[in-house]
Structure 1
Amino acid sequence: MKKKVFFLLFLLLSTSVLMDGCGSQESSAPSQEAENKKSEWVEEENGEMKMNVNVNGQDFIATLEQNSAVSALVQMMENGPVTLQLSDYAGFEKVGPLGQSLPASNSQTTTQTGDIVLYQGNQIVMFYGSNSWSYTRIGRIDDLTGWEEALGSGDVTVTLSVED
Structure 2
Amino acid sequence: MRVIILLFTIVSISSSVFGLSDGINDKNHKYMERNSIKLTIKNGETFTATLTDNSSAKGLMELLSKGDITIEMEDYGNMEKVGPLGTNLPRNDRQTTTGPGDIILYQGKYLVIYYDTNSWNFTRIGKIDNANAAHLKSALGNGNVTVTLSLNR
- 1:32-111 matched pairs, under 5 angstroms: 45=29, 47-48=31-32, 49-56=35-42, 57-111=44-98
CA 84–46 in structure 1, closer or farther in 2 if over 3 Å, else same: same
Cα RMSD for the two superposed structures? 1.8
- What's the offset of the Cα at 1:45? 2.4
Larger relative contact order (Cα-Cα within 8 Å, sequence gap ≥ 6) = 2
Which amino acid is the alignment partner of residue 147 of structure 1?
Answer: L
CA drift of 1:47 comes to: 3.2
Q: How far does the alpha carbon of each residue in 1:8-49 deviate from its partner, in whole angstroms, 9 at most, with x for none?
A: xxxxxxxxxxxxxxxxxxxxxxxxxxxxxxxxxx99628331
- Displacement over 4 Å in runs of 4+: none
- For 2:149, the equivalent position in structure 1 comes to 160
| Structure 2 unaligned regions, length at least 5 | 1-25
With over 3 angstroms needed to count, the CA separation of the structure-2 counterparts of 1:43 and 1:54, relative to structure 1, is farther
Task: Describe the shift of the 1:123–1:43 C-alpha distance in structure 2 as closer, same or farther (beyond 3 A).
Answer: farther
Matched, 1:150 2:146: no
Normalised TM-score (structure 2): 0.76
In 2, the alpha carbon distance for the partners of 1:70 and 1:143 equals 19
- Equivalent positions of 1:133-148 (< 5 A) are 133-144=120-131, 146-148=135-137
Name the SS for the 1:101 alignment partner.
Answer: coil
Deviates more, 1:140-149 or 1:71-80: 140-149
- In 1, Cα distance between the equivalents of 2:106 and 2:131? 22
Cα deviation, 1:82-136, whole Å, max 9, x if unaligned, reads 1100000000000011100000010001000000000000000000100000110
* Distance (Å, rounded) in 1 between the aligned partners of 2:141 and 2:68: 22
**Quick one: distance in 1 between partners of 2:71 and 2:80?**
14
Contact 1:43–1:50 (CA under 8 A) maintained in structure 2 = no
Corresponding residue of 1:32: none
Cα separation, partners in 2 of 1:151 and 1:80, compared to 1, 3 Å: same
**SS state at 1:76 partner:** helix
The answer to whether the 8 Å contact 1:108/1:132 transfers is: yes
